[in-house]
Amino acid sequence: MKFTPSPHQAAGHAGILEAGPVFAKLTAQQEIDFYAEARSRLDDSLDLGANLYDWMPTFMGTLTQGAVNSPDATVINPDQILVDQVAEQAALEEKYIVLQNLLYGYKNPCILDIKLGAVLVDDTVSEEKRLRLAKVSAETTSGSLHLRVCGMKVYNGQSDEKPPLLDETIAVESTDSGKYLKFNKFFGRSLTIENIQEGLSLFFVKSIAPELRKALITTFYQRLQLFYNCLVDAEVRIKSGSLFFCYDADPARWDQLQVELYGEQDRIFDEGIAGMDDESDAGSDDETNADCPLSRLKFIDFAHSKFTDGQGCDENVIVGVENLLKIFEQLLQ
Ligand code: ADP
Ligand code: MN
């Protein structure tokens, strides 16, 4: 397995890696612990979506810096699930967390990272960071809506045209498979209660026919409702976690699609990981994407998260999901 820099990133620290269906990023022990804990609490008797882990990328284990750079690195065992390659020396080195690559199989991924909560730090951070992030929250929709667009990347076909909204925060990136609009962190920080709906509407490309666009937005809305129900029952405190929205804007997948057949290309939940059971897929980059769902909603970024049994639900995060549901209702009108 050979990791290379991931070409598609919505927000966050630089240096994310991928190897086919596998994603890796440097992280703190707290995030590794949270993933391991969420997975161990998975209760199969509950409906899909009722477990927090259902909303998280599949956790595969960890790698040390040395191992991730080695062409021989093998994280995956075919039966999946936890392979902690180098547990003994690991404590001394920075670790990569190894997850399901949420964009695997997508030809033209559109991605959106929305940070939830008004309070963005836990009690492990320095006073300087606490004050700095309190200021960011107070000046943005993090404070007012408990949610903030952290970054967005949207397929723009062959066009160089930018939308007029906050266009100084948008860059056009050219790739072999077309052009992308990259909305930087100041796009999301500049959005207000008044224009956040317009800002989020830019995530859904115009090249998708209106009734299919509506089906896509409806699927995200249904996922958000189920995610909300899950959070209400979860005793956690998640600071600076993000909702990660993605869909494949590949024109070949949308242009021929009829609304009645949309459900065959997309699902509320996708079980398993495309490509994991078929080694030959990992290296090829076309014709295979019809296997993976058109879109996904996942909860990511748990470096400041913990399970807090007996303490009730995470109001700070839930209010953000409530407000996001309202915005999606408006987008559907
Ligand atoms: P950070 O602490 O740097 O903010 P995140 O976990 O939020 O770390 O990840 C940063 C970015 O990496 C996200 O905005 C997203 O674009 C990408 N990313 C994170 N997890 C995955 C994944 N499992 N698959 C694909 N992309 C991912
Ligand atoms: Mn993040």
Confidence of residue 72 (pLDDT cuts 50, 70, 90): low
Q: Look at ligand 1, atom 18, and give the residue with the nearest C-alpha.
A: 9
Using a 6 Å cutoff on CB, does residue 58 contact ligand 1? no
Domains of the chain: 4-100 (no CATH), 109-331 (3.30.470.160)
Least confident range of 73-82, 165-174, 229-238: 73-82
* Ligand number, closest to the Cα atom of 102: 1
Q: Which residues pair with 306 in a beta bridge?
A: 237
Q: Say whether pLDDT at 279 is over 60.
A: no
**pLDDT tens digits for 46-66?**
999 999 999 999 999 999 877
Using a 6 Å cutoff on CB, does residue 23 contact ligand 1? yes
Averaged pLDDT for residues 305-320: 98
Using a 6 Å cutoff on CB, does residue 10 contact ligand 1? yes
Q: What is the DSSP letter of 217?
A: H
pLDDT of residue 66: 73
DSSP string covering 73-110: -----TT-S-EETTHHHHTTS-EEEEEE-TTTT-SSEE
Q: Look at ligand 1, atom 4, and give the residue with the nearest C-alpha.
A: 12
**pLDDT tens digits for 99-133?**
999 999 999 999 999 999 999 999 999 999 999 99
Q: Can you say how many angstroms the Cα of residue 188 is from the centroid of all Cα atoms in its chain?
A: 16
Could you tell which of 244, 246, 292 is best to mutate to test the pocket of ligand 1, judged by most ligand atoms within 8 Å of the CB? 244
pLDDT of residue 215: 98
Contact between 314 and 231 under an 8 Å Cβ cutoff? The reply is: yes
> What is the whole-number distance in angstroms between the Cα of residue 319 and the centre of ligand 2?
19
Q: Say whether pLDDT at 173 is over 90.
A: yes
Average pLDDT for the chain: 90
Confidence of residue 74 (pLDDT cuts 50, 70, 90): low
44: buried, middle or exposed (CB in 10 Å: 19+, 13-18, 0-12)?
exposed
* Ligand number, closest to the Cα atom of 10: 1
Using a 6 Å cutoff on CB, does residue 13 contact ligand 1? yes
